Amino acid sequence: MENKITKKELAEKLVDKYGYTKKEANEVVTTVFEEIAAKLAEGVNTDISGFGKFVVKTRKERVGINPATREKITIAPSKAPAFKPAKALKDSVK
């Protein structure tokens, strides 16, 4: 048994628990992830109560070293998605 859950498995849970068709359940799961991704792309944080918050973190410009040439280079600022778990989620994992 692998230690992961897939979108397909999430959709199957909706089929079992709420009686959706497989197609409907797959669309629901896909829509949730697409909406979170779209909001993050706009720079909007997404809070899912009791689960956690998806946020956009901004990395500042910094100096790095090219490992092949040992030359100093400037690394441009960038944005990256991050996740901050809610207290309820942290407590359930302990």
Condensed to tens digits (0 to 9), the pLDDT of residues 9-61 reads 999 999 999 999 999 999 999 999 999 999 999 999 999 999 999 999 999 99
Q: Report the predicted TM-score, pTM, of the whole model to 2 decimal places.
A: 0.77
Q: Nearest CA to 74 among 66, 84, 63, 82?
A: 63
Domain 1-43: give its CATH superfamily. IHF-like DNA-binding proteins (4.10.520.10)
Is 1's pLDDT higher than 90? no
| pLDDT tens, residue by residue, 78-94 | 999 999 999 999 999 98
Residue range(s) occupied by CATH 4.10.520.10 in the chain: 1-43, 45-94
Q: What is the pLDDT of residue 48?
A: 94
Residue 71, helix vs strand vs coil: coil
The domain over range 45-94 is classified in CATH as 4.10.520.10: yes
